[in-house]
């Protein structure tokens, strides 16, 4: 895996890419699954040293969408025939917010049931570390997948990226809680972090395997100027894009049947980064559904694409991009990973 991650020659890259694509098509088919991405709130109790919406960043205008806004975003996702959505936010465990998300999950499922989707939209949450009871409440409301990145599995590097009270062990405990409750569990890492080695990234892949992870979301690290890591020394953009694509390929080659997202951060560094991600083995994309008025307030890193487009413009742009990558869109399907389904984790 270290050799794959360190490849630079054109012929090596071509071989790795085509082998990863072959393994993807054999194990997952040619569908790309869309999850409409709703950024529900940028209020955050955490102070991750890399993140643009960390609580200490006073330049951010904080927002929380209300129930009607969130349900309207879900309706748009449904009308676009995406089959599934992700509700993401900063980390906050206040009862008001957890109750809001739980109410939205129930309403979204009830209001999007139709002949093509008898159980309504599939719902993934990405809300950070919460107590067991909150995870359970949201699962009982009907959410069935949860994404919580481990960020890096090197404990020293993790400690260098987070305040002391945010521990590596507590992230592990949260992943275990999600698994125990019955969620399909997603995790992932940032790629090209200062001090991160190829061996660290290879270890990350072994971690995903050991923890029987169902879905992976990874992307390049992009320094945000208003954070302590804003001036950190990082690999040049082209190298970080190449490493991110190779990481997608290495995960696909090793884990075979998991879902892998081609993330927005890739597109932030390369206008066709997400299409390249699909060609290197990814099979999930998360089109922006967040209302245009607040998209600019949810900037984890600079250069976030599609800030001025609305959801309908994003939709037609993405359809053209998938066709260019030679794949088809898995309309009106939840698109659970084959890995999760094989282990009886479908809902």
Stretch in the footprint of ligand SAM (CB under 6 A) among 24-32, 121-129, 136-144, 331-339 = 121-129
DSSP one-letter string for 153-164? S-HHHHHHHS-T
Rounded CA gap, 270 and 92, in Å? 32
Which residues are within 8 A (CB) of 108 and not within 5 positions of it... i.e. 6 or more apart?
70, 71, 74, 85, 120, 121, 123
- When asked if residue 219 is in the footprint of ligand SAM (CB under 6 A), the reply is yes
Contact residue for ligand SAM among 149, 242, 276, 279 (CB under 6 A)? 149
CA gap 339, 21 in Å, rounded: 17
Q: 224, 252, 279, 315: which one contacts ligand SAM (CB under 6 A)?
A: 224
Among the listed residues 28, 9, 19, the one whose alpha carbon sits nearest the alpha carbon of residue 284: 28
Closest contact distance (angstroms) between CB of 62 and ligand SAM is 14
Give me 119's structure tokens.
């159980």
Question: Is 294 or 341 the residue whose CB approaches ligand SAM more closely?
Answer: 294
277 binds ligand SAM (CB under 6 A): no
Q: Which is nearer to ligand SAM, 91 or 214 (CB)?
A: 91
The answer to the question of residue 90 lying near ligand SAM (CB under 6 A) is yes
Binding window for ligand SAM (CB under 6 A); candidates: 15-23, 120-128, 133-141, 152-160 = 120-128
Phi-psi category of residue 81: left, alpha or beta, with phi > 0 → left and psi -120 to 50 → alpha: left
Among 1, 121, 190, 282, binds ligand SAM (CB under 6 A): 190
Comparing CB distances to ligand SAM, the nearer of 109 and 150 is 150
Q: Is the dihedral of CA 175, 179, 181, 182 positive or negative?
A: positive
Stretch that binds ligand SAM, among 58-66, 97-105, 146-154, 161-169 (CB under 6 A): 146-154
Q: Which residues, at least 6 apart from 68, have a Cβ–Cβ distance to it below 8 Å? A: none
Q: How far is the CB of 185 from ligand SAM (least distance, A)?
A: 12
State which residue, 16 or 207, has the beta carbon closest to ligand SAM: 207
The residue count for binding ligand SAM (CB under 6 A) is 19
Residue 109 to residue 21: CA distance in whole angstroms: 33
Which of 91/275 has CB closer to ligand SAM?
91
CB 317 to ligand SAM: min, Å = 22
The contacts of residue 90 (CB under 8 Å, 6+ apart) are 41, 42, 43, 44, 45, 46, 53, 128
- What sign does the CA torsion over 306, 308, 311, 316 have? negative
Distance CA 96, CA 166 (A): 23
204 binds ligand SAM (CB under 6 A): no
Residue numbers at the binding site for ligand SAM (CB under 6 A) = 50-51, 88, 90-91, 126-128, 148-149, 151, 190, 219, 221-222, 224, 265, 300-301
């Amino acid at each position: 895996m270290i050799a794959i991650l360190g490849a630079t020659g054109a012929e090596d890259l071509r071989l790795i890419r085509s082998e990863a694509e072959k393994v993807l098509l054999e194990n997952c088919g040619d569908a790309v699954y869309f999850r409409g991405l709703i950024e529900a709130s940028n209020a955050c109790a955490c102070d991750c040293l890399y993140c643009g919406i960390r609580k200490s960043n006073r330049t951010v205008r904080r927002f929380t969408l209300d129930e009607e806004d969130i349900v309207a975003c879900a309706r748009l996702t449904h009308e676009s025939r995406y089959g599934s959505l992700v509700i993401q936010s900063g980390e906050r465990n206040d009862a008001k917010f957890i109750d809001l998300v739980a109410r939205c999950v129930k309403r979204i499922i009830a209001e999007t049931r139709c002949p093509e989707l008898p159980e309504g939209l599939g719902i993934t949450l990405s809300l950070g570390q919460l107590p067991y009871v909150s995870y359970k409440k949201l699962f009982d409301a009907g959410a069935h997948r949860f994404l919580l990145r481990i960020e890096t599995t090197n404990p020293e590097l993790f400690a260098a990226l987070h305040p002391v009270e945010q521990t590596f062990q507590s992230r592990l405990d949260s992943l275990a809680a999600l698994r125990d409750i019955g969620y399909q569990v997603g995790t992932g890492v940032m790629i090209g972090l200062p001090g991160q080695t190829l061996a660290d990234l290879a270890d990350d892949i072994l971690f995903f395997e050991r923890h029987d992870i169902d879905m992976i979301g990874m992307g390049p690290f992009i320094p945000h100027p208003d954070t302590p890591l804003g001036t950190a020394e990082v690999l040049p953009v082209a190298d970080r894009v190449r490493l991110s694509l190779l990481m997608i390929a290495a995960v696909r080659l090793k884990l075979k049947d998991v879902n892998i997202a081609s993330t927005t951060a890739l597109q932030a560094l390369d206008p066709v980064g997400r299409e390249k991600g699909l060609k290197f083995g990814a099979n999930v994309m998360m089109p922006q559904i967040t209302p245009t008025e607040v998209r600019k307030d949810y900037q984890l890193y600079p250069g976030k694409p599609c800030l001025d487009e609305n959801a309908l413009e994003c939709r037609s742009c993405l359809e053209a991009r998938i066709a260019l990558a030679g794949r088809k869109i898995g309309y009106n399907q939840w698109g659970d990973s084959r890995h999760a389904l094989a282990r009886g984790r479908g809902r």
